[in-house]
Amino acid sequence: MPDTDAPINVYEFEAAAQAKLPKMIYDFYAGGAYDGITLRENREAYDRMRLAYRILQGVGQRDLSTTVLGHKVSMPILVPPVAFQGMVTKDGEVATAQAVSKVDTIMTLSTLSNTAVEDVVKAAGGKPVFFQLYIYKDRGATRDLVQRAEAAGVKALVLTVDAPLWGKREHDVHNHFTLPKGLFLKNLTSQMKELPTAAKDSGSGLESYVTSYFDSNLSWKDIEWLRDTTKVPLIVKGVARGDDAVRAVEHGVAAIIVSNHGGRQLDTSSATIDALPGVIEAVNGAVEVLVDGGIRRGTDVLKALALGAKAVQVGRPIIWGLAHGGSEGVVQVLEILRHEFDLAMALAGCKKVGDIKEDLIRKKCCNH
């Protein structure tokens, strides 16, 4: 008999994951900074947008494929860096890499991963893997990490630029978040591979780790330093303004990710889909622009592309799939989003990704 309780959308995967994960781990992934206003707004901004679909466009055959930095992918839906996946399943980031390879898209591995970059690149089976980077106070350790990632075969570096300090995530403070016993940050040197145990009066162990090791004094000069250090394309993640996007282009980045860290950093900052048009206008086609935050339906993907994004990234849904069914659960989540996006394209009158234009977005007028 068919499993009538099997999740059929991202929200149902989240509910299934919440039922399986310990509270500390679920809260770590699901929560946002302070009151969660930006966390909610990332989602609700998509819900407020309306589509002006085209009819009679002969959409019987559709092509969802595109390219990102020259790498062909089967759909414009990528997997961003998500930390500590070993908390969710024993295979951790390897399970995600295997799933991403199956659906033919791109995964970005977090610096804060529980799996060695070499193992993740191998698990991806020849599909491109990007590597997300935080810049540490110890520049030698940062340089070593970049060189290790390059030697492993990563195709781009993704520098997170929206976290000079760690946002206050109150669920993590209440839960005294730290890594479960036996999990380590496999790509870092010995003194940086463990999170501190969070004492009752010190809040989150991750916040303590970031304060101890991350460089909070980053500037545009550090983009130049990293650009000169790495041999692979450099992407900056965490851009929310057009003027910052222009400066990033001037400093030689290959792509920009419009992101607010999933609503986990500066609460009440703009939803990413609201910030996207200003960034697109500012860079004027000079680099590719991606966006993350709040994407839960295929129609969200369609809206982001209509506003100029080259592709989108979905983070929390990957964790919900991983928690529910390991690597196969991630495949299921990505296939659900693929099918929803395919249906949205067809119903909007688009045969290929290049047909998705801004005129699909209904403009607000006259307060009606």
Q: How far apart are CA 41 and CA 241, in angstroms?
A: 17
In a domain, 203, yes or no: no
pLDDT value at position 123? Answer: 97
Go through the chain and tell me how many residues it has: 368
Closest listed residue to residue 299, CA positions, set 280, 312, 310: 312
pLDDT value at position 175? Answer: 92
> What b/e sequence results for 192-206 when a residue is b if at least 16 CB atoms lie within 10 Å of its CB, and e otherwise?
beebbebeeeebbbb
In a domain, 86, yes or no: yes
Query: Catalytic residue among 251, 261, 339, 368, which?
Result: 261
Decide the pairing of beta strands 311-313 and 129-133: unpaired
Q: What are phi and psi of 22, to 5 degrees?
A: -60, 150
Q: How far apart are CA 368 and CA 354, in angstroms?
A: 31
pLDDT value at position 258? Answer: 98
261 assigned to active site: yes
Q: How far apart are CA 183 and CA 80, in angstroms?
A: 21
In a domain, 177, yes or no: no
| CATH code, 271 | 3.20.20.70
pLDDT value at position 366? Answer: 41
Task: List residues bridging with 158 in a β-sheet.
Answer: 132, 235
Q: How far apart are CA 341 and CA 300, in angstroms?
A: 8
In a domain, 182, yes or no: no
Distance of alpha carbon 233 from the chain centroid: 18
In a domain, 89, yes or no: yes
pTM: predicted TM-score of the whole model, two decimal places: 0.94
In a domain, 179, yes or no: no
Q: What are phi and psi of 143, to 5 degrees?
A: -60, -40
Determine the structural domain holding residue 92 and report its residue range: 10-167+213-352
Helix (H) or strand (E) holding 252: none
How far are the Cα atoms of 89, 135, 177 from residue 216, in angstroms, in the given order? 32, 9, 21
In a domain, 281, yes or no: yes
Decide the pairing of beta strands 71-73 and 66-68: antiparallel
Cα torsion angle, 161, 166, 170, 171, sign: positive
In a domain, 4, yes or no: no
| Tens-digit pLDDT string for the chain (368 aa) | 566 788 999 999 999 999 999 999 999 999 999 999 999 999 999 999 999 999 999 999 999 999 999 999 999 999 999 999 999 999 999 999 999 999 999 999 999 999 999 999 999 999 999 999 999 999 999 999 999 999 999 999 999 999 988 899 999 999 989 999 889 899 987 778 878 775 555 578 888 888 888 888 999 999 999 999 999 999 999 999 999 999 999 999 999 999 999 999 999 999 999 999 999 999 999 999 999 999 999 999 999 999 999 999 999 999 999 999 999 999 999 999 999 999 999 999 999 999 999 999 996 644 43
Q: Which long-range contacts (CB under 8 A, 24 or more apart) does 198-204 make?
A: 200/176, 202/176, 203/172, 203/173, 203/176, 204/166, 204/169, 204/172, 204/173, 204/175, 204/176, 204/177, 204/178
Number of domains forming the structure of the chain: 1
| DSSP reduced 3-state for 9 | coil
Q: What are phi and psi of 79, to 5 degrees?
A: -110, 120
Token pair of 186, please?
């496999």
What's the CA angle centered on 27, arms 21 and 33, to 5 degrees? 160
Instruction: Identify the burial level of 232 via C-beta atoms within 10 angstroms of its C-beta, where 0-12 means exposed, 13-18 middle and 19 or more buried.
Output: middle
Q: What share of the chain is helix, strand, coil (3-state, %, to 5)?
A: 45, 10, 40
